Amino acid sequence: MKKIGLFYGTSTVKTAEIAKKIQAAFGDTTMGVVAIEEAWRKDFEGYDNIILGTSTWFDGELPTYWDEILPDLDDLKLKGKKVAIFGLGNQVDYPENFVDGIGLLAETFEAGGATIVGLTSTEGYTFEKSKALRDGKFLGLAIDIDTQADKTDKRISDWVAQLKKEFN
Amino acid sequence: MKKFTIKTTDKDTLQRWFYLMTLGRAIDNKAPAYLLQSLGWSYHAPYAGHDGIQLAMGEVFVKGEDFMFPYYRDMLAVLAAGMTAEEIILNGISKATDVAGGGRHMSNHFAKPEWNIENVSSATGSHDLHAVGVARAMVYYKHKGVAYTSHGEASTSEGYVYEAINGASTEQLPVIFVIQDNGYGISVPKHEQTANRKVADNFVGFKNLKIIHCNGKDVFDSMNAMTAAREYAISTSNPVIVQANCVRMGSHSNSDKQTLYRDEDELAYVKEADPLLKFRRMLLRYKRFTEEELKQIEADAKKELSQANKKAIAAPDPDPSTIFDFVTPEPYHPQKYVDGTHNETGEPKNLVTAINETLKAEFRLNPNTFLWGQDIANKEKGGVFNVSKGMQPEFGEGRVFNAPIAEDYIMGTANGMSRFRKDIRIVVEGAEFADYFWPAIDQYVECTHEYWRTNGQFSPNITVRLAAGGYIGGGLYHSQNLEGALTTLPGARIVYPSFADDAAGLLRTSLRSEGFTLFFEPKALYNAVESSTVVPDDFEVPFGKARIRRDGSDITIITYGNTTHLCLDAAERLAKDGNYSIEVIDLRSLIPLDKETIAESVKKTGKVLVVHEDKVFSGFGAEIAASIGTELYRYLDAPVQRVGSTFTPVGFNPILEKAILPNTDRIYAAAKELLEF
């Protein structure tokens, strides 16, 4: 497997906790960790396999740390690269925009030529709407530590196993 | 459409935005200090967290073309639209030089009517109807522009907001409804207001309406949304909702304490989303400005605030002797019929014909006249009583048209439309019957406040016609009289004629006057012989001029509306039965009240009977009796007596109606008792 770049807000608490679990689940694989608060377009282009982590703010927005980098990503050149996204959401309190952040990032990185991998089933989740949905699947890993914390570890291990097969 | 981005927006524009945002936030942060120093600004609703959308509203506003109806949190919107820091502080600390209204309106209600940044109610959202009304005028007069109206998401629970959006959709009007969604209506979370988290989704089924969602915390997303909204509204003449997701970083206002219902995590989360800090970070991150440059801009803003503060504090306070200025504008003064009487002979006309012909005559004279109401214009039909019959065919659908069954909409859009030009004169049939006018009371109150609240800058030039009163077997909802309730509100003229000529004359005067007039029509008399009179073609009746319908010297009966005729009947009987000399005064105008004619009569007779159809208890007669008791007690030979209806609703069965409403016998008996006192 080619080198993986893990991008998330390192100043966050919950997203960082999940990112660290994912990093651990990959085991000894070499993984570059990049703080999104300070990242630039070229940082993404340096990896063949990319993992992005985000929460969803308010009624379906990316957090500011992601929002602020988006203008720099309007001409990403990621053709041939694979991108996997994990997102945090709360399907009970925010069922109308559950893990929208996954969908918003998928849109940006697909526009940059990347292939989105790590799609997962919606089975076991209950929500109304999500921008992360495509053809009945999530465009990444949906984590709900507010209402389904007990399922988090298995979801991560399953997803990482899946990524090991799907990554370059 | 050109898109605004951090990378492509020119540096001067970015600098202006950052300056405005920094200055706005500095004023917002300083506002509570004025209260602490007892200098004013006792109501302050901080805007922090709404920075992106408010900057965009002001930036997109085109002075001279657009109208803006900001709400009480829109400080940055008006600053970005061109108001100065000094003007904002003058409003905050209620100085005489406050351009919104000379310190008359509440603080944080920023306005500059001269620029069409409108002075609006604290009943937030009610100004949506005004925006719709002014947009109607823009379309009628082929004016290029849009009307912006803005408020929080919680206000969309109000019925008048739905009425406004429905109307703008139906009439296809260029209105931009900006919903600044910060998640709370004071302490009430939005899930307790409506089921959709994004309230704009409630309106997806409205035809002709475009809905744009944006991040109201992001300058660029907000600018792109508002620019697109304006382009769409102008190019298609259709309404737009811009749903801007914001955060409320502070409490609702200084009378709210958000820590009672928001925990530390939530407040920290909200703080993370601070739009000003985000914009600042981006200016640095994308190397559009250096830290030193930003600090210089911040220093410049601080300096402007300091200078504005000094000037505003030194500005004069309002003069208490001016409180009676601008309650109502100066009316039209009849030239030919100075006291509102005539001696013309000829064929009598009934009341409905007199009103209909006067409306038509004035509409022919003034092309900037408009009429709308429920059920008032469809082919041969012109209202349930045919008062507006023939008007739409003659004046066209642009000037005479039906309104939806939404009385608040009828009134609110009249208020809004009259803002477009001072020479517009609007007549509305406020409701099918006066009994159905109550839903419009919020807008009625608005109309009474406007002239005073703006310190004489804006007067809604509206005549509200209402078919009122009973004696038709109409029951509870076709018999009501509203004047007892409405005469307590300063700012309206209220007239209630009893005869065809007076109705024509008062209506003509109203249509030629600046200001707001409530015109009651006693519907039982529309086709009655007793109210039919000769009506000179150019008849005019001044406001505040009563008419003595029968001279006398023994007692004075003061009356108006339906009961004028009952009083005249009673007076005639008393003359025949006892040779009594009864003076009957038909007030015609309740506000202004002709105290001079009343006084002259009281001095002559020494005895007064006040008669009206409305309830005796707390009816308008109570005010008349009390003022005579206070001001003319020296001339009274007996206590002022009153006759009116019982303190009950009006029953439908004619037996009940008869028991409730005043009649000639009761007036006769009361007058006789007074005569014999």
Residue type, B268: A
| Option in A58, A72, A74 nearest B245 (CB) | A58
Task: Tell the residue number behind the tokens 């910060």, with chain if given.
Answer: B182
Yes or no: say if B631 and B581 are a contact pair by the CB < 8 Å rule. no
Task: Tell me the chain B residues in contact with residue A57 when contact means C-beta distances shorter than 8 Å.
Answer: 269, 273
Which token pair is A130?
A: 């999500």
The share of chain A scoring above pLDDT 70, in percent, equals 99
On whether any CB of chain A is under 8 Å from the CB of B170, the answer is no
Picking from A70, A79, A73, A68, the residue whose alpha carbon sits closest to that of residue A41 is A73
Assign residue A75 the CATH number of its domain: 3.40.50.360
CB B271 within 8 A of CB B215: no
Interchain CB distance below 8 Å, B286 and A64: no
Give the closest-approach CA distance of A164 to chain B in angstroms. Answer: 34
Sign of CA dihedral B475, B477, B479, B482: positive
Residues of chain B neighbouring A61 (CB-CB closer than 8 A): 215, 245
Reference B625, options B647, B616, B634, B605; nearest CA is B616
How close B266 gets to chain A, by Cα (Å)? 11
At residue A28, the pLDDT reads: 67
A1 CA: distance to closest CA in chain B (Å): 33
Chain A to chain B Cβ contacts (< 8 Å)? 37
Alpha-helix runs per DSSP H in B82-203: 85-92, 127-140, 159-171
Contact A64 B198 (CB under 8 A): no
- What confidence tens digit (pLDDT) does each residue in A69-104 have? 999 998 899 999 999 999 999 999 999 999 999 999
Amino acid letter for position B109 = H
Which residue in B183, B220, B273 is closest to A64 by CB distance? B273
Segment A57-68, tens digit of pLDDT? 999 999 999 999
Helices (H), B418-561: 441-453, 483-486, 500-512
Regarding an ipTM greater than 0.85, the answer is: yes
- Which stretches of chain B score pLDDT less than 50? none
Task: For residue B473, give the 3-state DSSP assignment.
Answer: coil
Residue B379 backbone phi and psi in degrees, to 5: 55, -115
Q: A13 at the B interface (CB within 8 A)? A: no
Cβ pair B7:A71 closer than 8 A: yes
Chain A residue with CA closest to B271: the answer is: A64
Residue positions of B annotated with a catalytic role:
478
CATH second-level architecture of B351-525?
Answer: 3-Layer(aba) Sandwich (3.40)
Contact A64 B272 (CB under 8 A): yes
CATH of B11-312, one of 3.40.50.800, 3.90.1710.10, 3.40.50.970, 3.40.50.150: 3.40.50.970
Whether residue A59 and residue B6 make contact (CB cut-off 8 A), yes or no, is no
| B526: nearest Cα among B549, B554, B497, B555 | B497
**Per-residue pLDDT reduced to its tens digit, B471-509:** 999 999 999 999 999 999 999 999 999 999 999 999 999
Give residue A101's domain range.
Answer: 4-15+23-152
Q: Where are chain B's structural domains?
A: 11-312, 351-525, 547-675
Residue B172 CA: distances (Å) to CA of B133, B203, B206, B207: 12, 15, 11, 9
Interface touch B181/A59, C-beta < 8 Å: yes
| B615-634 pLDDT, tens digit each | 999 999 999 999 999 999 99
| Dihedral, B458, B461, B465, B468 alpha carbons, nearest 10 | 40
Among the partner residues B181, B183, B281, nearest to A68 by beta-carbon distance: B281
Q: How close, in Å, is residue A83 to chain B by CA atoms?
A: 25
| CB contact A110 to B (< 8 Å) | no
DSSP readout, B38-72?
Answer: TSS-------TT-HHHHHHHHHH--TTT-EEE--T
User: Which element (helix H / strand E) includes B547?
Assistant: strand B547-550
Residue to substitute from B8, B285, B286, interface A, most A β-carbons within 10 A? B285
- A153 Cβ under 8 Å from any chain B Cβ: no
Contact A59 B198 (CB under 8 A): yes
pLDDT at A29 over 80: no
**A50 within 8 A of A83, measured Cβ to Cβ:** yes
Q: How many separate domains does chain A show?
A: 1
Residue B278: list chain A partners with CB under 8 A: 64, 67-68
Q: What is the dihedral of CA B347, B350, B351, B353, to 10 degrees?
A: -80
Structure tokens at B257: 């304490």
Instruction: Tell me whether A61 touches chain B (CB under 8 Å).
Output: yes
Looking at residue B491, what is its pLDDT? 98
How many Å lie between the alpha carbon of A166 and the closest alpha carbon of chain B? Answer: 34
Q: Judge whether B6 is closer than 8 Å to chain A, CB to CB.
A: yes
Distance, CA of B310 to CA of B302 (rounded, Å): 13
Query: Who among B197, B273, B282 is closest to A96 (CB)?
Result: B197
Identity at B274, one-letter amino acid code:
D
Tell me the chain B residues in contact with residue A58 when contact means C-beta distances shorter than 8 Å.
Answer: 183, 245, 247, 273
For residue B596, count CB atoms less than 10 angstroms from its CB and return exposed for 0-12, middle for 13-18, buried for 19 or more. exposed
Asked if B215 lies within 8 A of A59 by C-beta distance, the reply is no
Q: Please give the residue of chain A at the shortest CA–CA distance from B7.
A: A71
Say how many C-beta atoms besides its own lie within 10 A of residue B397's C-beta: 10
DSSP string, B339-394: TS-----S--B-HHHHHHHHHHHHHHH-TTEEEEETT--BTTB-STT-TTTTHHHH
Do the first three CATH levels of B11-312 and B351-525 match, i.e. the same topology? yes
Q: Is residue B95 within 8 Å of B318, Cβ to Cβ?
A: yes
Of A59, A72, A74, the CB nearest to B197: A59
Confidence at residue B383, expressed as pLDDT on a 0 to 100 scale: 84
| Cβ within 8 Å of residue A99, ≥6 positions away | A56, A87, A88, A89, A130, A132, A138, A140, A142, A143
How many angstroms separate the CA atoms of B388 and B465, rounded?
Answer: 11
Residue B284 contacts A where some CB pair is shorter than 8 Å: no
What pLDDT was estimated at residue B311?
A: 98
Hey, are the CB atoms on A58 and B272 less than 8 Å from each other? no
Nearest chain B Cα distance for residue A11, angstroms: 11
d(CA A168, CA A146): 33
**Looking at CA atoms only, how far is residue B282 from chain A in angstroms?**
6
Bond into B592 cis (ω within 30)? yes
Chain B contact for A55 (CB, 8 A cutoff): no
Q: What is the crossing angle of helices B595-605 and B620-631, to 10°?
A: 60
Closest approach of A81 to chain B, Cα-based (Å): 26
CA–CA gap between residue A80 and residue A78 (Å, rounded): 6
Query: Which positions in chain A touch B7 (Cβ < 8 Å)?
Result: 71-72
Distance CA B574, CA B560 (A): 19
Does any domain span residue A161?
Answer: no
Residue B356's nearest CA partner among B398, B400, B402 is B400
Cβ–Cβ gap A67/B278 under 8 Å:
yes
Please indicate whether, in this complex, the C-beta atoms of A59 and B196 are within 8 angstroms of each other.
no
- Cα dist. B440→A150, B244, B415, B437, B444 in Å? 56, 29, 12, 6, 6
CA B289, CA B283: separation in Å to the nearest integer?
Answer: 6
Q: Which residues of A touch B181 (CB under 8 A)?
A: 59
Q: What is the CA radius of gyration of chain A?
A: 14
Q: By CA distance, what is B276's nearest residue in A?
A: A64
Instruction: Name B373's bridge partners.
Output: B402, B429
Contact present, B590 and B558 (Cβ < 8 Å): no
Nearest-CA residue of chain A relative to B287?
A72
Listed in order, strand segments (DSSP E) in B93-238 are 147-152, 175-181, 184-185, 188-189, 210-215
- The CATH architecture that domain B547-675 belongs to is 3-Layer(aba) Sandwich (3.40)
What is the distance between the alpha carbons of residues B514 and B329, in angstroms, rounded to a whole number? 6
Task: State phi, psi for B583 to the nearest 5 degrees.
Answer: -100, 130
Segment A28-42 mean pLDDT: 89
What is the C-alpha separation between B107 and B41, in angstroms, rounded? 5
Q: How many residues are there in chain B?
A: 677
Q: How far is CA A58 from the centre of its chain?
A: 18
pTM given for the model: 0.96
Judge whether A164 lies within some domain: no
